[in-house]
Amino acid sequence: MQPLLELRGLTKDFATHRAIDTIALAIARGEFFSLLGPSGCGKTTTLRCIAGFETPNAGDILLDGRSLVPLPPYRRNVNTVFQNYAVFPHLTVQQNVAFGLERRGVNNGAITRKVRDALALVELTGKETRYPNQISGGEKQRVALARALVLEPELLLLDEPLSALDPKLRKQMRIELKTLQARVGITFLFVTHDQEEALSLSDSLAVMNSGRIEQVGTPRELYRQPASRFVAEFLGEINWIDQVALRPESLNISKNHPGGGIKALPATVQTTTFLGNRTQLRTTLANGRECVIEVQDAAQNIGPGEQVHVWWRTSDEIHIPNP
Partner 1 sequence: MRRLRAWFLLPGATIMAVLFFAPLLIVVLYSFLSRGAYGGVELPWTASSYTRVFDSLYLAILWRSIWVSALSTAICALLGFPLALYIARAGSNRTLLLNLVMLPFWTSFLIRIYAWMFLLRDTGLINSFLLAVHVIRQPLPLLFNTGAVILGLVYGYLPFMVLPLYATVEKLDPSLLDAAADLGASPAITVWKVIVPLSKPGILAGSLLVFIPCLGAYLTADLMGGGKSVMIGNVVQNQFTTSRDWPFGAAISLLLMAVALLVTRVIGRKGEQLL
DSSP secondary structure letter of residue 146: H
138 is an interface residue for partner 1 by CB under 8 A: no
Between vectors from CA 299 to CA 296 and to CA 302, what angle results, nearest 5°? 165
- Only segment of 4-12, 22-30, 87-95, 245-253 that touches partner 1 (CB under 8 A): 87-95
Residue whose CB is less far from partner 1, 74 or 288: 74
- Only segment of 77-85, 116-124, 222-230, 275-283 that touches partner 1 (CB under 8 A): 77-85
Residue whose CB is less far from partner 1, 133 or 315: 133
Residue whose CB is less far from partner 1, 164 or 184: 164
Inter-axis angle of helices 108-121 and 137-149, nearest 10: 130
- Only segment of 70-78, 123-131, 281-289, 303-311 that touches partner 1 (CB under 8 A): 70-78
Residue whose CB is less far from partner 1, 15 or 275: 15
Return the SS3 of 39. coil
- Which helix (DSSP H) or strand (DSSP E) does residue 252 occupy? strand 252-254
Kindly identify the residues of this chain, within the stretch 33-52, that bind partner 1 according to CB under 8 A: 51-52
161 is an interface residue for partner 1 by CB under 8 A: no
Of the candidates 4, 23, 146, 151, which one interacts with partner 1 according to CB under 8 A?
151
Q: Residue 137 region, left (φ>0) first, then alpha (ψ -120 to 50), else beta?
A: alpha
80 is an interface residue for partner 1 by CB under 8 A: yes
Rounded CA-CA distance 201/197 in Å is 6
* Chain-centre distance for alpha carbon 209: 14
Q: How far is the CB of 40 from partner 1 (least distance, A)?
A: 18
Per residue in 178-217, is it b (16+ CB within 10 Å) or e — as a string?
eebbeeeebbbbbbbbbbebbbebbbbbbbbbbbbbbbbb
Between vectors from CA 211 to CA 77 and to CA 5, what angle results, nearest 5°? 25
Rounded CA-CA distance 28/151 in Å is 20
Q: How far is the CB of 67 from partner 1 (least distance, A)?
A: 18
94 is an interface residue for partner 1 by CB under 8 A: no
Q: How far is the CB of 167 from partner 1 (least distance, A)?
A: 23
240 is an interface residue for partner 1 by CB under 8 A: no
Q: How far is the CB of 69 from partner 1 (least distance, A)?
A: 15
Q: How far is the CB of 124 from partner 1 (least distance, A)?
A: 17
Q: What residues have CB less than 8 Å from 227, skipping those under 6 apart?
A: 214, 215, 320, 321
Q: How far is the CB of 91 from partner 1 (least distance, A)?
A: 8
301 is an interface residue for partner 1 by CB under 8 A: no
Instruction: Kindly write out the interface string for residues 175-204 of this chain, putting x where it contacts partner 1 by CB under 8 A and - elsewhere.
Output: ------------------------------
HSE toward the beta carbon, residue 16, CA cutoff 13 A: 0
DSSP secondary structure letter of residue 85: B
- Please choose, from the candidates 313, 317, 301, 314, the residue with its C-alpha nearest in 3D space to the C-alpha of residue 254: 301
* Residues found near partner 1 in the complex (CB under 8 A): 51-53, 72-75, 78-80, 82-84, 86-90, 99-100, 103-104, 147-148, 151
